[in-house]
Structure 1
Amino acid sequence: MKGLLLIISVVLLLSGCATNQSPTGRGQTLLFSSQEMTQLGNASFAEIKKNEKISNDVALTQYVDCVASRITQALPDQSQHWDVVVFESEQVNAFALPGGHIGVYTGLLKVAQNQDQLATVIGHEVAHVLANHSNEQVSRAKMTNTGMQLAQLALGVSGISNQELYMGALGLGVQVGYTLPYGREQETEADVVGVKLMAAAGFDPSQSVALWRNMAEAGGEQGPELLSTHPSHGQRIAQLQKMQTEVQPLYKASLISVKNRCQRPK
């Protein structure tokens, strides 16, 4: 009987979902509207700003904002305002959230050695949002949580809250103590979309290869937090090298409209 209830609940949940295609043509199941994702992103970013130390280094913040602004200005949809915040932390990490939020940890700037390498990471994170990966992850968490709630009712136990589950699905494990990481297909898509995005913004895509090599060296075999669930270093670098033939012409064409270089503070 319990198993039947679980199956019925999942079927009812899926009946109300939307299907979508990712930038590489992969099918996606999306349970949330863009408005709901914006609300979730806004709430999650507000929570992070309450719990993480925001950097007061003006020059560093201006540098990160410069890179992020050029990336977001290359997006096809210019109606979204993007909020960029630098967090004082040794984490080698960054993230982007629905609703137009970008967070960069100062630890990343020790590995991303120039504007192009920083653009690689920001482009990758923005690509996750652009490709609805956050919606896809939260949708998976919602479907999982439905089953969890039914099991908890049957067993008479309590579980994690929806807010914790959804923040975990957004990859915000630092705040809630765990994370539901993006899958490798999503990470590969973010690499592909991100490197095209950085090239369109006038950042040298060849530096994406150098950046991920730096990342590999920064954390040994496993790499830092940002690489914990990503494809292997060798796979990622090989893919980015293959893409150079496609993205270098895009980069060179975009240089005509680039008016400012983002100067890394000394």
Structure 2
Amino acid sequence: MNTTTQKNRLKIIFYISTGAKDVYYTLNKVVQEGAIVVSHHYVQNLSMEENEAIEKAEAFSKRLSDAGLDCVFDGTVDGETYGKLGSNLKVEDHFKMKKIQEGIMPFGKHKDKALKELPQDYMLWAISKFQSSTNPVENSLAFATLSTAIDLGYLQNGDDILNCLTDFNRQNSKSEYIGEKGQRLTVECLIVNASGYYDDLYRQEVHNILLKQGDNMISYTGTKDLGHKGDTIKIKATIKNTYESKGVKYTQITRPTIQT
């Protein structure tokens, strides 16, 4: 995305409406060129409480603004300024939008999977792929996924957000596989993303780590805490597998140990 061009031409306006059956306050997005509405999309559910919804909407808008996007938050709730959201959608797109509002992936190889359960690299790809799409379903998916990625800690600051919006895959398209399956090797690499969750079944923390050795992308999922985003570490690990996702090659590792 050319942010300089977009900042000169387009403005993003976030506003709040009440969703289906007036149960949830939802965040919507309008893109304007001058006084003309270019696109109008759902972003995310916020809260059942108005004040909490406003706080969340303001925080989300500010994070994108701090990342360099030309966006503002319109504090009016249920204003009629921007017209009815989704009034010109095709029937099949209405069903897809409903899934997005429920936090569900509406199409593709991860169809019907919860957005919060999507693989991290796929989430970042979807954001960068669809954030400038004129298709209302794709655009809404991009910003709903962006919100989810922020909540999960995949995107922690303005630079993270801007880098993601400027195409994660293009930045890492030079990646090549390293080593061979089963090989034990030592590498020095940079942690480019670190997140995790608590596994209630096994009662343990699980870490999702993306690392970069030069141009090469390395992924790790497991119980070993390798450090924080931005750390440069030296590890010894076993090559578990290799895979390609959206033009980016990843080497998956297991049994990592920190080397000093």
TM-score higher than 0.5 here? no
Q: TM-score, normalised by structure 2?
A: 0.28
Q: Which has the higher helix share?
A: 1
Q: TM-score, normalised by structure 1?
A: 0.27
1 or 2 for the larger relative contact order (CA 8 Å, sep ≥6)?
A: 1
Q: Which has the higher strand share?
A: 2
